[in-house]
């Protein structure tokens, strides 16, 4: 019997883009971390940079966008505090802070509590994977799929 080798590189690339670490990918796909690093370098040389894919993926995740806005807010607030302590002018920094807040507000208007919902669904999935029976998991998948469809329609 001829064994066909399965190319796990596309799975590895997709998992990495979703934010999974190399060690965890290596464990789940049963490949060496060194192999993943080699694949990652080869793909980068071929123009498919895994890190860019990860950045692009994260920009579609509302939680990632909120985290970026939080970091930007904290950085500007820190710069304002330093300037105030030095007796400097904060007008341009205050404008920057206002712009970040405007983006956050537009985001909240568009997505509402979607990041919270996604967090709760993630926790539910983790709990269900450890505690629910197969029948309950099937029922949960149907309910969550319907709920996510409704959310997508509401935010389209």
Two tokens at 137? 């998991």
The answer to whether position 4 is within a domain reads no
Q: Check whether residue 98 and residue 124 sit in a common domain.
A: no
**Chain segment 58-88, per-residue pLDDT in tens:** 667 776 777 777 888 888 888 888 888 888 8
The answer to whether position 1 is within a domain reads no
Span 101-128, average pLDDT: 74
Q: Check whether residue 50 and residue 17 sit in a common domain.
A: yes
Please work out, in degrees rounded to the nearest 5, the angle formed at the alpha carbon of residue 29 by the alpha carbons of 26 and 30. Answer: 70
Q: Check whether residue 122 and residue 140 sit in a common domain.
A: yes
Please tell me the total count of domains within the chain: 3
pTM recorded for the entire structure: 0.43
Q: Check whether residue 129 and residue 95 sit in a common domain.
A: no
The answer to whether position 100 is within a domain reads yes
């Amino acid at each position: 019997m001829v064994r066909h080798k399965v190319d796990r590189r596309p799975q590895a690339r997709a998992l990495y883009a979703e934010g999974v670490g190399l060690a965890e990918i290596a464990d789940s796909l049963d490949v060496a971390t060194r192999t993943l690093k080699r694949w990652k370098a080869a793909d980068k040389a071929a123009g498919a940079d895994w890190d860019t894919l990860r950045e692009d993926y994260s920009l579609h995740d509302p939680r990632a966008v909120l985290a970026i806005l939080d970091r930007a807010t904290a950085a500007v607030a820190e710069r304002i505090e330093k300037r105030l302590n030095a007796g400097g002018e904060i007008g341009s920094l205050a404008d920057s802070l206002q712009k970040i807040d405007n983006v956050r507000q537009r985001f909240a208007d568009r997505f509402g509590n979607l990041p919270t919902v996604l967090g709760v669904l993630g926790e539910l999935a983790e709990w269900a994977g450890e505690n629910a029976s197969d029948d309950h998991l099937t029922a949960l998948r149907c309910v969550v799929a319907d709920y996510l469809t409704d959310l997508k329609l509401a935010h389209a």
